[in-house]
Amino acid sequence: MAGVAVTIVGRAALGAVFGKAFAELYDTVKDVGSKVVMFKSILISFKSNLDLLAPVVEEIRRLNQELNRPEEETKSLIKDMEDAEHLIRTCSEIHDWNYFFQAFYVKKLTDLDKAIVRFCKVHMQAQNRRDLLQILEQLKSIREEKKSPIMKIHGLTCSAPGPPDFTVGLDEPLKVLKMQLLKEKQQQLVLTAPGGCGKTTLVKMLCQDEQIKCKFKDKIFFVTISKTLNLMIIVQRLFRHISGKAPEFQCDEDAINQLQELMTQIGSNPILLILDDVWSGSEFRLEKLKLNVPNFNILVTSRTTFPGFSFTYNLKPLNDEDATTLLRHFASLQDGSSHIPDKVIEKIVRGSGGFPLALSVNGRSLCGKPVEAWYSRARKFSIGHSIFNYSSDLLECLQKSLEFSDHEVVLKECFMDLGSFHEDQRIPVLALIDMWAELYKLDEDGIDAIANLYELTTRNLANLVMIRKDESEINNYYNEDYVSQHDLLRELAIFESRQGPEGQRQRLIMDISGNSLPSWCTEQDQQPINARLLSISTDESFSSTWCNIQAPKVEVLVLNFQTENYSLPEFVDKMDNLKVLIATNYGFFPTELRNFQPLKSLPNLKTIRLEKVSIPSRCEAPVLLKSLKKISLFMCNIGQAFENCTIQASDALPNLMEINIDYCKDLVELPTVLCDVILLKKLIITNCHQLSTLPKEIGKLVNLEVLRLKSCTDLSELPESIRSLKKLRLLDISDCLSIRHLPKEIGELCKLGEIHMEGCLSLRNELPPSTTNLEQLKLVICDKERAKFWEPIKEILTDLEVKVAEKDINLTWLFKP
């Protein structure tokens, strides 16, 4: 019940003074009740009563809003709740030995508790009944009104509303939607974008377009949905609008059947039903509204992309030019005569992210303000202040996209984790898979993580980009896939993560400018933080002077940096619970990464991912990483890392099971010492265009199951020693342009079930005779020219499927950051 109360009375959900007072009281009772033992019993009772009252509070708030009731009607209750909140805060400061004050405040708390309960049970119930009677009276007068088929009560009409007086940047989207709707066929369209992007404004413009009005005449119906898509209510509204009558329905199916009959009766002209602001979770009901009526069209606006619709249009934020025009309009700045410098306006436009709602908030709040106010706002945006500090409306609008159901709690956590990475940068899917495997126990192969990213993309909270040629190429290969996120949504993720004191957050995100460390982490009596994820971002002027952060519960550490030299923080050696380390350089050139020593004392470190760093020879100061299971190196300089080593790799990395090397341009030959890591199951070397040789010692990796050498364009051959890899299940040599033949004894790979070899342009000879011994081989993916070499093999290996990959000139490696 407590969870329900928190959901109902959340500040963002209520917003008004009434709801805010209730929410603050609830939070205070919960916070103090968990800390102050002497008042625990009365506060437990208090909290229990608040849980029971929460639905009543929400109902009163809703009816007050619908009927435009003034907040004064609940002023006495608001005063009681504010007094109670202040009183409980005072109680938290009373010492255990002060029995007189304890008894005094227990009585006051009990009296206030009774007063609040009495108000809600008597006055508010009576107010509820009065409001419901008023609504019934309004509905009664509506039924009696026969003169006009169009409803006069605000909110119940289905007439298409007009757009705002001033719009900008929507002409092209309007043109696209028009082209779709003017086609001579039945359409089901989805207009999707995050909240505040202008979806409703665009469809209002569409409704008033002359060509659209000409096609649909008086048969454009506009219904605002919001959170719950109730089919029977929608159909009732349409009946009232069209016929002035509102029949009762037995169920959804009855409503749909009668709606279909009504739409058939009103004529053969095209019909357009617009459902505005449909929320996620309404897919099943939306399908029912696809009526079997000629020329019946549906246009849905939503923050979610719904499957099964004939056309989906993703509305993008405004470009800089249009965004500037809109900001100037709301700020009443005349073109050419403004005293506000263009550079200041540019910074505020960037801080608004191209969202029309954000631009209107900034423009209106700065309208008529002196130039100093503009400079102040621009400076605060530049140093990382959130736009949400200036607009509760914008925050509430975007927070609606984060209302996940109880079984989707992990989805919201995944969304907030995206704020851990540097702005305006691609987020590697592999990094997210590594994080979420530990934080939420998602599968390490990435299937669950990809499913969550698809869902976030569907809800316009992120953008998953997957580069794949063939469905069969899944096989947990996500090296080239990434996630991007709009700046304003990233800001929302960070804002949500930063609620509550730093020491109590589950996710602590630190953005350090220069050497200005947060005050809380430089205090002598600094308390340990409880975060499970710690993200620290520094800029190019950071001098690697760290404070002593105490973070014993951190499981994932994300380091984002841009300096030429970077040292791992000394405090890492106290993170006994650390499982995943992600260190990413966002500068243009590789950064030399130093000080690996703190890692050697970490008993649970399982995964390390390094991006765009130069790794010095680990022989200078050997580090034993006995718990490490996976290491990923992306765009790193690693040529010196394993030179002249006296310590055996099998001793330094005894439990390593996966090596992932991608876009490492100085890798010419795989270091022989890595072939001693005999527990290794996956060796993935991709897009390393200088790699020309694999050591013959690779045959020592007897536990290897996956060998990927994708796009290693200079690799000329596979050593014959791979015949010893008896557990190998998958071999990927796709786009290895220089490989001329397969190993003679490839047939000894008795567990090999899949080969990828598309793009092996130099492989022009017949396959080795031993290939016919690959009895477990079920799938080969290759290009058309190589497919002919497998034709005779298929006659012997009858279960073998040879798929010809579609031509795909993949030059994404040319554009990597």
Q: Can you give the pLDDT at residue 96? A: 55
Same-domain check for residues 55 and 138: yes
Domain boundary among 290, 314, 338: 314
Same-domain check for residues 296 and 328: no
Distances in Å between the alpha carbon of 102 and those of 40, 96, 106, 155, 806? 12, 8, 6, 52, 78
Quick one: pLDDT band at residue 319, thresholds 50, 70, 90? very high
Say what percent of the chain tops pLDDT 90.
40
Lowest mean pLDDT among 95-99, 153-157, 340-344, 377-381: 153-157
Same-domain check for residues 363 and 223: no
pLDDT tens digits, one per residue of 728-737: 999 999 999 9
Same-domain check for residues 334 and 433: no
Same-domain check for residues 102 and 53: yes
Domain assignment of residue 454, yes or no: yes
Say what percent of the chain tops pLDDT 70.
78
Average pLDDT over residues 184-203: 90
Average pLDDT over residues 808-814: 47
**Reduced to 3 states, what is the DSSP secondary structure of residue 111?**
helix
Q: Can you give the pLDDT at residue 4? A: 37
Quick one: pLDDT band at residue 792, thresholds 50, 70, 90? very high
**Reduced to 3 states, what is the DSSP secondary structure of residue 565?**
strand
Domain assignment of residue 544, yes or no: no
Q: Can you give the pLDDT at residue 1? A: 41
Quick one: pLDDT band at residue 7, thresholds 50, 70, 90? very low
Length of the chain as a residue count: 817
User: E strand or H helix at 220, and its extent?
Assistant: strand 220-226
Same-domain check for residues 71 and 202: no
Average pLDDT over residues 344-353: 89
Distances in Å between the alpha carbon of 352 and those of 42, 249, 398? 46, 46, 13
Secondary structure in 3-state letters for 233-270 = HHHHHHHHHHHCCCCCCCCHHHHHHHHHHHHHHCCCCC
Q: Can you give the pLDDT at residue 620? A: 55
CATH number of the domain encompassing residue 387: 1.10.8
Domain assignment of residue 622, yes or no: no
pLDDT tens digits, one per residue of 512-541: 888 887 777 777 677 888 999 999 998 888
Domain assignment of residue 516, yes or no: no
**Reduced to 3 states, what is the DSSP secondary structure of residue 429?**
helix
Q: Can you give the pLDDT at residue 2? A: 43
Same-domain check for residues 749 and 800: yes
Average pLDDT over residues 678-695: 94
Same-domain check for residues 184 and 285: yes
* Tokens encoding 1: 């019940």
Secondary structure in 3-state letters for 17-49 = HHHHHHHHHHHHHHHHHCCCHHHHHHHHHHHHH
CATH number of the domain encompassing residue 804: 3.80.10.10
Q: Can you give the pLDDT at residue 739? A: 95
Q: Can you give the pLDDT at residue 549? A: 87
To the nearest 10°, the Cα dihedral for 59, 65, 66, 68?
130
Quick one: pLDDT band at residue 429, thresholds 50, 70, 90? very high
Domain assignment of residue 597, yes or no: no
Q: Can you give the pLDDT at residue 11? A: 38
The answer to whether 368 and 338 are in contact (CB under 8 A) is no
Quick one: pLDDT band at residue 179, thresholds 50, 70, 90? very high
Number of domain units in the chain? 5
Measure the CA–CA gap between 221 and 161, rounded to whole angstroms.
Answer: 10
* Tokens encoding 122: 């008597």
Quick one: pLDDT band at residue 113, thresholds 50, 70, 90? low
Domain assignment of residue 611, yes or no: no
Same-domain check for residues 291 and 361: no
Per the prediction, the chain carries an average pLDDT of 82
Greater model confidence, 544 or 211: 211
CATH number of the domain encompassing residue 274: 3.40.50.300
**Reduced to 3 states, what is the DSSP secondary structure of residue 160?**
coil
Same-domain check for residues 387 and 427: no
pLDDT tens digits, one per residue of 64-103: 655 555 555 556 666 667 777 777 777 766 655 555 555 6
Q: Can you give the pLDDT at residue 282? A: 83
CB atoms within 10 A of CB 473: 18
Q: What is the domain extent for residue 465?
A: 404-489
Q: Can you give the pLDDT at residue 806? A: 75
Query: Edge-to-edge strands of the sheet including 296-302?
Result: 220-226, 271-278, 296-302, 188-192, 311-314
Average pLDDT over residues 575-599: 90
CATH number of the domain encompassing residue 440: 1.10.10
**pLDDT at 238 > cutoff 80:** yes
Q: Can you give the pLDDT at residue 752? A: 96
User: E strand or H helix at 512, and its extent?
Assistant: strand 507-512
Greater model confidence, 604 or 63: 604
* Tokens encoding 304: 């979610």
Q: Are strands 591-594 and 565-567 parallel, antiparallel or unpaired?
A: parallel
Measure the CA–CA gap between 294 and 219, rounded to whole angstroms.
Answer: 13
pLDDT tens digits, one per residue of 441-465: 998 888 899 999 999 999 989 999 9
Domain boundary among 263, 285, 314: 314
Q: Can you give the pLDDT at residue 811? A: 46
Measure the CA–CA gap between 7 and 3, rounded to whole angstroms.
Answer: 6
**pLDDT at 151 > cutoff 50:** no
Average pLDDT over residues 507-514: 88
pLDDT tens digits, one per residue of 260-312: 988 888 877 899 999 998 988 888 888 888 888 888 999 999 998 888 888 99
Measure the CA–CA gap between 708 and 662, rounded to whole angstroms.
Answer: 11
Average pLDDT over residues 777-798: 93
DSSP state of 769: G
pLDDT tens digits, one per residue of 751-769: 999 999 999 999 998 899 9
In DSSP terms, 536 is beta-bridged to 510, 559
Q: Can you give the pLDDT at residue 774? A: 96
Same-domain check for residues 673 and 809: yes
Lowest mean pLDDT among 462-471, 740-749, 803-812: 803-812
Greater model confidence, 154 or 691: 691
In DSSP terms, 272 is beta-bridged to 220, 297
Lowest mean pLDDT among 114-123, 159-168, 557-566, 703-712: 114-123
Domain boundary among 294, 314, 334: 314
Domain assignment of residue 637, yes or no: no
pLDDT tens digits, one per residue of 114-147: 766 666 555 555 555 555 555 555 555 444 443 3
Same-domain check for residues 789 and 711: yes
Burial pattern 211-234, b for ≥16 Cβ within 10 A else e, equals ebeebbeebbbbbebeeebebbbb
Please report, as a single letter, which amino acid is at residue 257.
N
